[in-house]
Chains A and B, each alone.
Chain A
């Protein structure tokens, strides 16, 4: 049952990813990315990480991708032309992907303490404990400082965006 679901949604995920690369229209690529993200969320759910799954849907599929589609819609980006590109790109790109995959695979397989996950089981040994509780304990007790620093970083990024947007608007009114 879990294996069937895994195969179906992993298939969706891969199909979405390949479609994302092959489509020439930006909005189609953006929609394929949404498919990739939602099927990833289902894969998280199958691994027992329910909070991560729903956060993936709310944050990535819901918020980030809405902004992507907005940008595509507002810029009215048309069909991209398929260029042959640099001749060197293809061989180098494929080798780079293979090398990266190999490195990741060896690291994940070699590192001690990383066990293979089992489909349909919880992430922890306690089956009835919500991983929301565990996650918040880790975030707000053990990793409190990095967590807060990250949120300040995001705040700075927002303020920076606002400042840039304001300066352009002020210049425009000054020109008039």
Chain B
């Protein structure tokens, strides 16, 4: 493969992944509004396009065209930088997520992952920890006490749950013996669903911790204190309007998709089929190309639906309950899980 071909295929991968991610974010919003609508016994958006399918596009256009208000007292450079940090940390994430097996493209080119690196999982954790800056700086630079309080609330929540999130993944890493996401998936894929980390790998405690921490990391209900609409002023993005607000909004929904991808890769067997080798492998190139993407998308979609379901049914935690839950319950449980997994692996 020549250099030119390599550059062409890489650019194509980046472009496709980014566009799919952005469309995914837009339609996750619609999915949430529709499902929450059904849970609350109403229709959800239904006017624009068939079944309201064009609603996200119209919303996007609205955000672009709205007047962009910048309050006079803000600290301008950082005020403008903060939404960019948030959104870019979200969008870079997709670069290390593998959607399918390697060597499927022409010339054994890695078609299903933008960059296959041997510390993929750590890159994901690094991006999560950098994402805090967007929230913290947005609240501080707005020069508004509600924004500052909101951003302190969110950043302390993010930092607290980051620990539980990171530690919950250690069990999976111990089992796979690698930080490469492809290796982790391959290690789960031998017998289909029976060897997924959540079932056969006996990592269901880790999955539970990951799930809770992921809800908190993405500021979603029941941990959505950063912007508890019904009780508090909106939080760190109070002073943001039009597209800058939309960037925070997109970052939030993008993070939902991201944690869904990580859950799929680490606990639900990634792109592999839940049936393992029960059915004979088909010879069709088309099916071999699209089956991994199909399974991956189905799993992420199921995770997103779970998110919306929880949002529609569970009440919000109080702030002290949130902190107690994170530090006194999830963190010790995660450490116990690591100890248990290591003992199990040592005796095996």
Contacts and interface: CB of A to CB of B under 8 A. Distances in A.
Interface of A: 27, 31, 34, 50-51, 54-55, 57-58, 61-63, 66, 69-70, 73-74, 130, 132
With a 10 A CB-CB cut-off, give which of B126, B129, B152 has the most chain A CB atoms: B126
Q: Nearest 10 CB-CB pairs, A to B? A: A62-B129, A57-B126, A54-B122, A73-B140, A58-B126, A130-B118, A50-B119, A54-B119, A54-B126, A66-B132
A69 B130 CA distance: 12
A61 B118 contact: no
Interface string B121-153: 011011001101100110010000000100010
B73 to A, nearest CB: 14
23 contacts: A27-B140, A31-B137, A34-B133, A50-B118, A51-B122, A54-B119, A57-B129, A57-B130, A58-B122, A58-B126, A58-B129, A62-B130, A62-B132, A63-B129, A66-B132, A66-B136, A69-B140, A70-B155, A73-B140, A73-B148, A73-B152, A130-B118, A130-B119
- Classify the interface of chain B: helix, strand, loop or mixed: helix
Contacts of B125: 58
B301 to A, nearest CB: 30
Interface string B156-183: 0001000000000000000000110000
Contacts of B178: 130
Nearest to A66: B132
B133 A69 contact: yes
Interface size grouping (class) on chain B: 20 to 34
B165 to A, nearest CB: 12
- Classify the interface of chain A: helix, strand, loop or mixed: helix
Interface of B: 75, 78, 117-119, 122-123, 125-126, 129-130, 132-133, 136-137, 140, 148, 152, 155, 159, 178-179
B78 A132 contact: no
A132 to B, nearest CB: 7
Given A27-B78, A58-B122, A66 B129 contact: yes
Given A70-B136, A73-B136, A51 B119 contact: yes
B133 A54 contact: no
Contact of A61 (B78, B130, B179): B130
Contact of A62 (B126, B137, B148): B126
A62 B137 CA distance: 14
Nearest to A67: B159
Contacts of A70: 136, 152, 155
A55 B121 CA distance: 12
B179 to A, nearest CB: 7
A132 B136 contact: no
B304 to A, nearest CB: 26
Contacts of A31: 78, 137
Contacts of B119: 50-51, 54, 130, 132
Given A74-B152, A132-B118, A132-B119, 20 more contacts: A27-B75, A27-B78, A27-B140, A31-B78, A50-B119, A51-B119, A51-B122, A54-B122, A58-B122, A58-B129, A61-B126, A61-B129, A62-B129, A62-B130, A62-B132, A66-B132, A66-B159, A69-B133, A73-B148, A132-B179
